[in-house]
Structures are given as structure tokens and as C-alpha cells.
Amino acid sequence: MNTFNNKQVAALPNHLRQYIVEQHYEHYTTVDHAIWRYVMRQNYSYLKDVAFYPYIPGLKKAGLTIEKIPSLQEMNDALGQIGWGAVTVDGFIPPAAFMEFQAYKVLVIAADIRQIDHIEYTPAPDIIHESAGHAPIIGEPRYADYLSYFGYIGSKAMYSSKDFELYEAIRQLSILKEMPDADPADIAQAEKDLEFKQQNLGEPSEMALLSRLHWWTVEYGLIGTLEDPKIYGAGLLSSIGESATCMRPDVTKLPYSIDTLNYSYDITKPQPQLFVTPDFETLINVLEEFASTMSFRKGGTHGLMKAIECKNTCTAVFSSGLQVTGTFTDIVLNENDVPVYIKTTGPSALSYNDNQLDGHGKAYHADGFSSPVGKLKDFEMPLEDFHINDFKNMGIELGEPTVFEFESGIVVEGTLKSVIQEEEKLVLLSFIDCKVHDKNSGKVYFEPFWGVYDMAVGHKIDSVFCGAADKDAFEPIALVSETKTHQMQFDNKTVRLHELYRIVRNVREHKADVALLPSVWDSLKTEHNNDWLCALEILEIFEHTGLHPELADDIKHVLKNKAASNPAITKLINDGFSLIANPVIDLVH
């Protein structure tokens, strides 16, 4: 994997690297670069007045220029100076993975760029949104802290199978909407599918609620006062349409707080309300308030029940530090609803400090794992704090039969085979010829002929979170969607249009022969009557050089007619005229 000589990218674990794709910079067409240039010029022209101040200087800090799509190397060279990195991926990736990239201080950037028909806004992630939206604000230290901390919290969040179904529906619709030849019936069906899944999520999971906080801050956040807010959310910063309309009075502005969790969102529509934070510190405080309610903080019965509801790989952390990873299927509670026994089904693993214990991977624990939780009867000190000498004083020896009775009434009796200790804590005891049963109910949890019994040590469950403790060991294959983004195939007519854009770009950048442009304009009028962007670029050159005034008038006349007859591009063309009259200077040159 190319790490771009960036420390943050180089530190990514293997299970995240599987989402990374090559940027293939050479695949960007001259039209793609023209789209980037148009959006960036609009952003610089408009956002300098409504964006949070560090946005404009932040563009340069992120390695971005007006004139061309950034390469990953350029971005990593710049972001590396502020302790961040960037990689490209194929469209939407699962929220948990997206969050974890943030925790590693790596920006996830969709390699594709929006098509000209969606130049104002696209529901699909693209390089404009990810790089020109997210990257420039990272230079603000407290916002960078918030982003990486959010990633850490998000990587621990419980999600549900319905969350992943919703993710797939969003991904499918975004891909279809970005396909130039997509069947309208397919889009309509995908929209219905997404709406159905949104309305039938049931009680939102921790990940669903976190996604709302992420949406209303990182993507669509405003900062300042309700009377004079500024934009910092990447979804707004990268949308030349909604960045303007969001400031209208009909878009309600509300103070940002933990109550924002109650507002769902629709990625396919303009937002009816936005939330304003007075500062980035407030974002961190609200996130911390929500984190205190999450399973990875609360642990215990709350966390274990969430893990069972999740029906996916989760990890429970015992008070000794031992981490049990697997699909949790059962929990035994005492009269106070405190866990006294836990059980996973299917491949499971044991870890400590996120590193899998030798010999305790999912191949060894292929059929699941179970263990009592709690203190030993008649002992105030938790078992994890015992030392080998304490065992000897109790008459317990390796290789000898022994009995452990817990306060709950669960009894483990067998021959002690081995003990694993980590950082002066007992974390695992292994037995042979072992029987585990509840002396009160008579229920048997383990029989001697089943083999070795490995018993986790810990008097309580401190934390429960989604995913494996040692992801690289437990989950070598990432959950990557089988639905891939659309790869453009160009017919001969479109290839000729790309060549016209190339000629115009060459004239503008390298002061090539302006005499080539009249024939380019003729070709646009006769072969590519729907184009408006290349025409604007030719007009820009003529207006700034004073050459071919009669052709400039012709282009303006044609473009005005297009704007009058096609409302979808009216604002785009008029904004293009404004950019020509009020040129912006590249951030670097």
C-alpha cells in the first residue's frame, strides 16, 4: 500500500487498508478538472463571506488549488504537516469504518468526482466534498480534536443489522443518482427502498444516533450565533447550491445541544433546519455527554443486552482487562439484574489491550466461549487481584483438582491446568476434567468431556463495544460492500468533447494559441449543444484578453438563452458570468 510518506496513513491497521483504492489520477478527464475549477472558484468567491474563517487559508494548508483536482500525494504532503493524512475509497464505506479512519486521523476521500449534471450537489461522496469540504477545517486544532475523538467514539458504537441495510440502501441510491444513464425507474425504486428502511429502523442504535450528531456537525454544522452563523460543515462547504440556500430565513437555525439526537436526516434533500454551535468546545462537550450513555462506557447488563441485540461481533471487557470477542447470545443475571454468566456462539477470541492472546483465537474458540462473572464466595478481594501465592495459601495448585464457588452460586470444579496473568492481573484460568454448574438451579454450563474449560477472570463487565478487540486477528476480511461505484464509459462524441476542454485548458494555462478557440466554439455549437461550462471557459479567456469580442458576444447570447430556457442551469451560468467579471486568484499561484 502506498503510504504517501505520511505517518498517519502508514499507521493504519490492515482491516482498514482493505477499503483503500487507488486514486488513478490519470482517469480524471478534462471535464472533471473543469468541474473542480468551477466549484472551487465559486466556493472561494462565495464562502469567503459565509464560511468559518479558517476555511479559506485552510484550503492551501490542505494542499488544494483552484485549478486542478488534488492528488493524494499533494494532500498528504500538506496534511502531514498538521498530523493528518488522506486515502481514497470507493464511495460510501460503512459508518464504523469511516469513524475508525477518523480516529487514526486519516481523511477518507471518495476517488470519484461528481458529474456536471450534479455540479451543485451530489448525494454520493466525491473528491470535492471530501477534500474541499472536510480538509480545510482540520487546520483548526479544536475541530481536529473533535473529528479524531468522534472517530474513536464512533469506532466503539453499537450498530444493528438494520444499520448496515440502511447503509447499503444509501450507497445504492447515491451510485444510481451519479450514473448518467441510470434508469429513472431504478432510481425511484431505490428511493422507495431507502425511505422504507429509514422508516423501519426501530429504536435507533448508538451508531444511528452518533451518525445524526456527525451529520449535524461535521457535515452540516454552523458555528457562531443564531443571528450570524458561519459554515464549517463539509456538506455545505462542498455544495455551491446549499451553501447559499442554507442561509435563507426559511432554513431554521437551532442551538446545537444533545437534543440534536432527536433529528433524523435525509441525504437526498436540502435540510429543513441546521444547528449552530457557539464554538468547537461545545461539540466535544455534547459528544462526551452522549458517550457517557454508550455501552463501551456503561458496560454491565446494559452493554451485554445491546451486544445480544446487535447480533454481530462484539467485545465485552472484564474488570481484569480480558476482552472476549464474539457474537453474544446469552446472559444470566442475578436477582439485582447484574451479569453472573455470559456466553458467545460461534467463532470467538480472547484478547488483552486489543492484542489477541496466544492460542486463544477464533480457530481455538470456534464454537463459542462462556464464563462466570463476579466475585468468589466469602472473598471480598476480586479474583483478578489474586496472586499465585494467594492460591497456594488456599491450597490451590496447578495440576490439582480445585473448586471455585462464586457469590452467584455458579461453581467451577476441575483440575487447574494453567493461569494467564497480564500486568499483575489474573485474566484467564484453564481447567481440564471440568464441570461448571449453578448449584441453586442445577443448570449445567460445561461438562468434563467437552474438553478444556477456559474461564475469564473479572468481577464485572466494564465495557462492551461493537467489533473485535484485535480486529486484524479476528476480522482479516473487512465488510466491504459488493455494490461498486459506476465506472464511466465514454462514447466517441464525449471523447471529442473532452478534447475541446483540453484545448481550452491548454490555452488558459500555457498561453497557447488563442486562434484555436473559435473552432472549439464552432464545435461546441454544432456537436455539443448541451454544454455550458466549456463555453464559459472560452468566454472567460476572451473577456480577460479582449480578443474576439464578436465571438464573446455570441457566446454570451447563447449562454443567456440556455439560462432562460433551462432553469436547472440558470444559476450556474449566471454565477459563471459573475466569476468572469470578478475573477478569483488561485490559492497557490
Query: How many other C-beta atoms lie within 10 A of the C-beta of residue 447?
Result: 12
Nearest CA to 374 out of 463, 459, 497 is that of: 459
**Residue given cell 471530501 in the structure block:** 130
Backbone angles phi and psi of 28, in degrees to 5: -70, 130
Q: Would you give the DSSP letter of residue 485?
A: P
- Nine cell digits for residue 586: 488561485
The answer to whether the CB of 84 falls within 8 A of the CB of 144 is yes
Q: What amino acid is encoded at 224 in this protein?
A: G
Nearest CA to 4 out of 18, 19, 23 is that of: 23
- Cα dihedral 26/30/33/37 (nearest 10): 160
The answer to whether the CB of 148 falls within 8 A of the CB of 105 is yes
Q: Which helix (H) or strand (E) holds 85?
A: strand 85-89
Half-sphere exposure of 1 (CA within 13 A, CB side): 18
Give the Cα separation of 299 and 156 in Å (integer).
Answer: 12
Q: How far is CA 211 from the centre of its chain?
A: 9
Backbone angles phi and psi of 441, in degrees to 5: -95, -20
- Alpha-carbon Rg of the chain, whole angstroms? 29
Query: How many other C-beta atoms lie within 10 A of the C-beta of residue 541?
Result: 17
Nearest CA to 259 out of 290, 229, 291, 231 is that of: 290
**Residue given cell 464549517 in the structure block:** 232
Query: How many other C-beta atoms lie within 10 A of the C-beta of residue 570?
Result: 14
- Cα dihedral 93/96/97/101 (nearest 10): 120
The answer to whether the CB of 565 falls within 8 A of the CB of 557 is no
The answer to whether the CB of 434 falls within 8 A of the CB of 415 is yes
Give the Cα separation of 198 and 170 in Å (integer).
Answer: 10
How far lies 543's CA from each of 18, 103, 540, 548, in Å?
49, 48, 5, 9
* 134 has binding-site annotation: yes
Query: How many other C-beta atoms lie within 10 A of the C-beta of residue 433?
Result: 13
Q: Are strands 252-255 and 322-333 parallel, antiparallel or unpaired?
A: unpaired
Query: How many other C-beta atoms lie within 10 A of the C-beta of residue 569?
Result: 20
Give the Cα separation of 463 and 459 in Å (integer).
Answer: 13
The answer to whether the CB of 62 falls within 8 A of the CB of 126 is no
The answer to whether the CB of 383 falls within 8 A of the CB of 376 is yes
- Nine cell digits for residue 31: 471535464
Nearby residues of 518 by Cβ (< 8 Å), 6 or more positions away:
548, 551
The answer to whether the CB of 472 falls within 8 A of the CB of 359 is no
Annotated binding residues for Fe cation: 129, 134, 219
Annotated binding residues: 129, 134, 219
